[in-house]
Chain A
Amino acid sequence: MGATAVLALPMSLWAQLTQYDLNARLAAAESHIGNTTGHAKDAALPYRRFCVGCHGPLGDGNGENAPYMQPPMFQQPRDFQLGVFKCRSTPTGTLPTDQDLYDSITRGFDRSNMPQWNTLSKQERADLVAWVKHFSPRWANEKPGTPITIPPEPEVTAERIKAGRDVFARVQCWKCHGVQGMANGPSASTLTDDLGRPIAAFNFTEGSRPKCGDTDRDIYRIFMTGLDGTPMPSFADNIKPEEAWDLVFYLRTFMHQKSKEKELAKQLGLKPVDPNAPVPTQ
């Protein structure tokens, strides 16, 4: 009798755990990462294993751990149902590409509980991208945006860094990020995301990686596409491509890591922008 009960236990689980609601959106959701095609239907197990605790069974960011992730110390898990993503190569307001989502899963997000999932196989990550997409009806009705064009990176010069400082002043980055990039601008304490939750500006000086990547191209992309769902807008309409590179170089002077930009700024004796000075013209 005992043996029967012992055997009955896993058999009963088999019956229960396979009762998933495989709806049409789930069956159709795919992703394409290079030559790899991800299928949402294959991601049920890894999503349940790795993701559901934060993002929740319904992908709405209401996993069991979400209540304990309080901004601004930690960001709340992403609500996939909204179909709004910070890290994109596409213009603001558009859907990200599959590669964007794949890169986010792979890279993780510093200063959050989203780790780097680069230990997963490429196939698993591609499947998870498809799974993430199936939560939002946006993918059924819209196409991802066209990735912005990023011109080749020019050589860093002192003039470019000074020009970047002018861009920093002109588009008033300092209002949130502070004049020295320490996230202590006059607006910093009032920032909220689109859901009304407090959110911190990025502190360039503490050594963290920017959420959407830490290469020069990543930083360029961040302020030219904006971080949708946050107060960080796209400056694609305000900053010319060559000015964007200038701004990248200037932002590098704030950062903890050693860089040519820091050296040049030191040689220049570059001062922080003056919030009370007239706004530089374009």
Chain B
Amino acid sequence: MSTLTRSRFSRSSSSIPFLTAALVLVFLVLGVSQPANALPAFARKYGLRCSACHESWPMLNYFGQKFKDNGYQLMNDRDAPIWQNPGYWPVTFRITPIWHRVSTGKVPIDTYVGGVATGNQTIQRVTSSGFDLSGLDFHTGGTLEKNISFYVLPSSNSSAQFHFETVMGRLDNLFGSPWLNVKFGKFELDNLLSEKRILTLTANGGVYQLYHFRPVGDGNIFGQMGDNQLGVEVMGHSTNDRTRYAVAVYSSEDGTVGLPDGNAYTAYITGSQAFDAGKLGVQRLGFYAMVGEAPTTWLTSGGALFGGANGTGPAAIGNKSFSREGFVGQFYFGPHFDLQVVTQHGQDDAWFGQGYGDLIGGNASLNNTTGTTLPAGAQSPSWNGILLEPHYVFSPQLIFIGRYETIRMSQQANGAACTACLGTGGPSASNLGNLSTYTIGYRYNPFMTSRAGFAWHNEYNWLHSDGTGPVAGTNINTSELLIGFDFDF
């Protein structure tokens, strides 16, 4: 008869009142209510806890990455829906009620005297706080048949305006080989450090700045590797997922449907290799490269934009190039501590640097029509950046998160010879648009089952941007404190 006792995994009963009191206190002091986490649709299907696939939900661990690479299959010969209870429907929702405090420096504010606007502004810091909601995600994914997978994610903002964040079908293990899988639709690029599985939630800390960076005034919105894209992807991996590659070709639309920027494509390639480093764990090194073109010219008819703006494209030509490339590292130092690293060198064509390109964002005032020339001194903006994200995993239910990102311009769009370039017209300061951001936080899951997820989330983010203040050449600091319940079911 075993002498083991349940105490190894259960908390002592004497500590429960304290924990309860602490939770209630936090509840009363900070208001708010309800959070959660994980994609329980998969957990329910396979009877695995969130922690089996997630370092801390939603961030994948190596096992979860392999599950995803297999097309959301355990490869246990019971993946097809025919083996599931007919009532099983793979749907999960996620939403996060929060309290947050946002503080933004150097905001131009109108001044009044006697209730009448003076026409002048003061530059001041603005701080807002209150209870709020995140958007709502409905995840549904899994297998249609063995080795045929799908994922559909209608996602809303906090006002319940929905769009399709992900819609894709996938043919898995073609010719019986894990090295050949084809995905078609709208999907996240195969970023090892996935922004869609980011552990932080604030406005600036809830995204990887490196995945969305644009120099000041730059019109290229198409190089955002953090956004889901419309295209096709071929990926493959070794049986144990130690070796991975992915190649994607997609429309340069930044994931927007309706072909507003038709006839331009971007390619994204990534590969990585993992190594078993004994007691340290499994280490992974990889690279990525994105090379693409996007339009700068919008056809007009009768003086009005033709086609693409109304979803009847293509109506865009004058493609110009851009690129992003870098290295990725996932380093583990035993079971509790890991460090995720991403580097990036980015470059946009000089036309983008002068503001051409972004129609999706509504900025079609700059149109590279016949005869348009670049201003003298305009040059291709380029930059370098690094992202460091350490995690301390105290247990599968409690993780401490940190992040530091910094991006430094190596060449400004407005060169030394500029006299009539974008913005001020003259050359830009070398540090214009440089960015640094820090994020710290923790997520605590009071329970861990295969049925639902629930996380008590605390996070603080601080972001600094050089030279972007309303008073020329000044810097802007923004900070946000966020507390919430992140939950899904």
Q: Given the interface contacts A23-B4, A45-B396, does A50 sit within 8 Å of B51 by beta carbon?
A: yes
Contact B395 A119 (CB under 8 A): no
Contact B23 A9 (CB under 8 A): yes
Contact B8 A5 (CB under 8 A): no
Contact A119 B47 (CB under 8 A): no
Contact B19 A12 (CB under 8 A): yes
Rounded to whole angstroms, the CA-CA distance of A121 and B483 in the bound complex is: 35
A235 within 8 A of B: no
B362 within 8 A of A: no
A111 within 8 A of B: yes
In B374-399, which residues have CB < 8 Å from any A CB? 394-398
A31 to chain B, nearest CB (A): 14
Chain B, Cβ-Cβ closest to A118: B240
User: Among the listed stretches A57-65, A90-98, A161-169, which one makes contact with chain B, having 4 or more residues with CB under 8 Å of it?
Assistant: A57-65
Contact A9 B29 (CB under 8 A): no
Contact A19 B78 (CB under 8 A): no
**Interface residues contributed by chain B, number (CB under 8 Å):** 62
| Residue in contact with A44 in the complex, picked from B8, B30, B62, CB distance below 8 Å | B8
A107 to chain B, nearest CB (A): 11
Q: Given the interface contacts A5-B29, A6-B26, A120-B62, does A74 sit within 8 Å of B78 by beta carbon?
A: yes
Residues in chain B near residue A50, CB distance under 8 A: 48, 51-52, 63
The interface centre, meaning the residue of B46, B65, B75, B395 with most chain A CB atoms within 10 A of its CB, is B395
Q: Given the interface contacts A6-B26, A9-B444, does A65 sit within 8 Å of B450 by beta carbon?
A: yes
Contact B75 A116 (CB under 8 A): yes
Rounded to whole angstroms, the CA-CA distance of A157 and B474 in the bound complex is: 84
B281 within 8 A of A: yes
| Residue in contact with B49 in the complex, picked from A19, A52, A137, CB distance below 8 Å | A52
Residues in chain B near residue A208, CB distance under 8 A: 77
| Residue in contact with A121 in the complex, picked from B281, B336, B450, CB distance below 8 Å | B281
Q: Given the interface contacts A9-B22, A46-B335, A53-B450, does A19 sit within 8 Å of B12 by beta carbon?
A: yes
B144 within 8 A of A: no
In A48-77, which residues have CB < 8 Å from any B CB? 48-50, 52-54, 57-60, 64-65, 68-69, 73-74
Rounded to whole angstroms, the CA-CA distance of A108 and B76 in the bound complex is: 8
Rounded to whole angstroms, the CA-CA distance of A1 and B66 in the bound complex is: 44
Residues in chain B near residue A5, CB distance under 8 A: 22, 25-26, 29-30
Residues in chain A near residue B4, CB distance under 8 A: 21, 23, 58-59, 135
A223 within 8 A of B: no
A57 to chain B, nearest CB (A): 4
A233 within 8 A of B: no
Rounded to whole angstroms, the CA-CA distance of A82 and B8 in the bound complex is: 19
Q: Given the interface contacts A49-B51, A123-B279, does A17 sit within 8 Å of B78 by beta carbon?
A: no
Contact B398 A13 (CB under 8 A): yes
B10 within 8 A of A: yes
Rounded to whole angstroms, the CA-CA distance of A259 and B487 in the bound complex is: 50
Contact A115 B74 (CB under 8 A): yes
B25 to chain A, nearest CB (A): 4
What mask results when residues 255 to 284 of chain B are scored 1 for a CB within 8 Å of chain A, else 0? Answer: 000000000000000000000111101100
**Interface residues contributed by chain A, number (CB under 8 Å):** 65
What mask results when residues 37 to 48 of chain B are scored 1 for a CB within 8 Å of chain A, else 0? Answer: 000000000111
What mask results when residues 10 to 43 of chain A are scored 1 for a CB within 8 Å of chain B, else 0? Answer: 1011111101111101000000000010000010
Q: Given the interface contacts A17-B395, A25-B3, A53-B48, does A2 sit within 8 Å of B78 by beta carbon?
A: no
A114 within 8 A of B: yes
Rounded to whole angstroms, the CA-CA distance of A12 and B52 in the bound complex is: 25
| Residue in contact with A114 in the complex, picked from B76, B397, B458, CB distance below 8 Å | B76
Residues in chain B near residue A119, CB distance under 8 A: 62-63, 65-66, 240-242, 282
B83 within 8 A of A: yes
Contact B18 A12 (CB under 8 A): yes
Rounded to whole angstroms, the CA-CA distance of A54 and B26 in the bound complex is: 33
B373 within 8 A of A: no
Residues in chain A near residue B335, CB distance under 8 A: 42, 45-46, 124
In A206-228, which residues have CB < 8 Å from any B CB? 206-209
B449 within 8 A of A: yes
Residues in chain B near residue A122, CB distance under 8 A: 276, 278
Chain B, Cβ-Cβ closest to A207: B77
Contact B9 A9 (CB under 8 A): no
Contact B47 A49 (CB under 8 A): no
Rounded to whole angstroms, the CA-CA distance of A48 and B75 in the bound complex is: 22
Q: Given the interface contacts A20-B8, A120-B62, A123-B279, does A137 sit within 8 Å of B77 by beta carbon?
A: no
Rounded to whole angstroms, the CA-CA distance of A9 and B394 in the bound complex is: 13
Rounded to whole angstroms, the CA-CA distance of A17 and B11 in the bound complex is: 6
Chain B interface residues toward A at CB < 8 A: 2-12, 15, 18-19, 22-23, 25-26, 29-30, 46-49, 51-52, 62-63, 65-67, 74-78, 83, 239-242, 276-279, 281-282, 335-336, 394-398, 400, 442, 444, 449-450, 456, 458, 483
Nearest 5 A/B pairs, CB to CB:
A65-B47, A57-B9, A118-B240, A53-B49, A16-B11
> Could you jot down 28 A-B contacts, CB within 8 Å?
A9-B26, A10-B394, A10-B398, A12-B22, A13-B444, A17-B394, A17-B395, A19-B12, A23-B4, A46-B335, A48-B396, A49-B396, A50-B51, A53-B449, A60-B2, A64-B449, A73-B83, A74-B78, A113-B47, A115-B75, A116-B239, A118-B240, A119-B282, A120-B63, A122-B276, A123-B276, A207-B77, A208-B77
